A and B are shown apart, each in its own frame.
Chain A
Amino acid sequence: MPSVSTQITVIVVGYAVLVVVLALVVALRHGERPGWLDQMVWMLEALLVVRALAGLGAFSGDGPDSTSTYVGYLIASVCVLPIAMQSIRDDRAVWSSGVVAVAALAIAVVAVRLEMTA
């Protein structure tokens, strides 16, 4: 049975990939960034906060192989999306969905790396 943090990571990666695909579909259709895409991003952020809290459990026992690397990924996992959303705060044009896709893709990679370094 995988650990709780591993299970959350699987959900995070799957959900992040879904956000990437939907953001790309919106961008390729040359539409404005819809409100529901923002809501999906913030839902992903909530999942990441839960993952980060669960990830703190890695410090019990032997701890991660490289603490600095693990902490770096942990911080990045919760900071990337808010910074990306801030950068497109006033911009709902087509390219803003591209930014969402890039940020969500980065989150999927960070979540996988977080699991590998735990």
Chain B
Amino acid sequence: MSTGPTRPTDVTEPADAPRSGPHKVLLAFYALFALAAGARALVQLTTQYDEAPVAYWLSLAAAVTYALGWYAIREASAGRTGFASVMLWIELAGVLTVGTLSLVERHWFPDASVWSDFGIGYGFVPAVLPIAGLLWLHRWKRRESAAGMPADD
């Protein structure tokens, strides 16, 4: 419920997107992680590829996942929740799979990826982020249903 000055809708926001809500914080986290993971993966892939190619490709996959997650949450905040329902589960599965593999098959990871040890290098935020996103999505859908505007999935 903003009381700030009214301005034309930002072209980067869907016209029907709500102005504020927890999704703004989620979007900030996803943008930061897409940037951080993407930059890290590109630097490692181009400068030290032979050291741990699997880990570096997985970091790049994580970066792509965060970019898609950012888009999915942005769309969900405008009522189009279908993509987010899939994307956030994919992200959670990725974190859990890579996190588990990095503990069980340590020789596959001579160097860490973003999701190694469930994101310990980032304060476990990578493990918490998809869960927070799914919780937000669940509450968002329930609110939309209560308002008589069922989500599109």
A96 interface contact, C-beta 8 A: yes
* Chain A residues within an 8 Å CB radius of B148: none
Are A91's CB and B19's CB within 8 A?
yes
Are B43's CB and A66's CB within 8 A?
yes
* Chain A residues within an 8 Å CB radius of B28: 84, 87, 98-99, 102-103
In the bound complex, CA of A76 to CA of B2 (Å): 29
For chain B, what secondary structure do more than half of its interface residues adopt (helix, strand, loop), or is it mixed? helix
Do A106 and B25 contact each other (CB < 8 Å), given the known contacts A66-B43, A91-B2, A92-B2? no
For chain A, what secondary structure do more than half of its interface residues adopt (helix, strand, loop), or is it mixed? helix
* Chain A residues within an 8 Å CB radius of B21: 95
Binds A, one of B4-12, B59-67, B83-91, B93-101: B4-12
Chain B count of residues within 8 A CB distance of the other chain: 25
CB distance from A17 to the nearest CB of B (A): 15
Give chain A interface residues in 83-118, CB to chain B under 8 Å. Answer: 83-84, 87-96, 98-99, 102-103, 106
Chain A count of residues within 8 A CB distance of the other chain: 24
A60 interface contact, C-beta 8 A: no
Top 7 closest pairs, chain A to chain B, by CB: A93-B20, A92-B4, A98-B25, A102-B28, A93-B2, A99-B28, A95-B24
| Residues of chain A at the chain B interface (Cβ within 8 Å) | 32, 66, 68-69, 72, 76, 80, 83-84, 87-96, 98-99, 102-103, 106
